[in-house]
Amino acid sequence: MTSRLVRCVEELCKVLPIKHVSTLVGLSWNTVKRIDKARLIRELPSIAWGEVRRLAIDEFALHKGHRYATVVADADTRQVLWVGEGRSRLDLRPFFEQLGEYAKSIEAVAMDQNSAFDLEVKLHCPQAEVVYDLFHVVAKYGREVIDRVRVDQANTLRSDKPARRAVKRSRWLLLKNRSNLSGKQEAKLEELIAINQPLATVYVLKEQLKELWRCRNAWEAFKLWRQWWRSCRESGLKPLMDFARKLLPYLRGILASAKYPLNTSVLEGMNNKIKVIKRMAYGYRDIQYFFLKIKHAFPAKW
């Protein structure tokens, strides 16, 4: 095989799935993958461990509903530092073993409040502040509050089919950021919340919840939290009250976002891009190869 053909395969693999490259160059799937994997190992982005101060930790499914993996990124440069199989506290430990003495320089770590990662962070980085990420909290609010209330409201409208249909189809109107709605969608949203008080309540309180991550200091965030908590309790909506109660133990990590405003687009962007890599079928036959693809997809951005 000529060096020119190898270079051609390497360049094509940066933008196309192996199957397509194999067809284009007339080489077997395994040969193309072997060439690309060798390139990924050879060109693996270096990491300036001594400059890492803030981390973002997330998990993703390797196969839907089954095996999972964990990814750790530099929250400032957005570089993926480590990827490993599993999503338990012990599964994360190899990362901190690799981090070594640099663990004492970590100031804050963003994560999903439902994980056990916070215990491992406190073991290795006791000085670091755990920050619960807006992206995951709002996603959970959507599943546990908006979806539940929307279904409940649809069930009360069985005798009014047009209204019931409108409520059942309102999920994305209620979940999407208002700035991402078209003029037509925004008009539908306004009409919906004008005629349905429970949906109006959970929508407004979703927007207020997001404001906690935009506060300038912890005291301002705490005052806003108390106001939000009171509104949840006074709403009379059980899914909303249950969600607020379950969120209370994580209050410190939410308020910490005022001091360490870690951009949620770090985790959201990683989450979405990893899904794209999975769809291109890079990783199922060789986990190491899949993880190399992820690391190359997120080099440091200064």
Q: According to the CATH classification, is domain 49-132+262-297 in 3.40.1280.10?
A: no
Helix (H) or strand (E) holding 72: strand 68-74
| Residues 217-271 pLDDT 10s | 999 999 999 999 999 999 999 999 999 999 999 999 999 999 998 765 677 788 8
Neighbours of 52 (CB within 10 A): 22
Task: Give me Rg for the CA atoms of the chain.
Answer: 23
Instruction: Label residue 65 by pLDDT band (50, 70, 90).
Output: low
For residue 52, the model assigns a pLDDT of 97
114 DSSP 8-state letter: T
199 — pLDDT class (breaks 50, 70, 90)? very high
Which residues fall within 8 angstroms of residue 184, CB to CB, at 6 or more apart?
Answer: none
State how far the alpha carbon of 228 is from the alpha carbons of 80, 85, 169, 207, in Å. 35, 37, 27, 10
Are 172 and 206 a contacting pair, CB within 8 Å?
Answer: no
Q: Is 131 helix (H, G, I), strand (E, B) or coil?
A: strand
pTM for this prediction? 0.84
Give the N- to C-terminal CA distance of the chain in Å, as an integer.
38
pLDDT digits (tens, 9 = 90+) for 104-149: 999 999 998 867 899 999 999 999 999 998 888 999 999 999 999 9
Q: How confident is the model at residue 284 (pLDDT cuts 50, 70, 90)?
A: low
Distance CA 65, CA 141 (A): 20
Query: Do 35 and 52 touch, CB atoms closer than 8 A?
Result: no
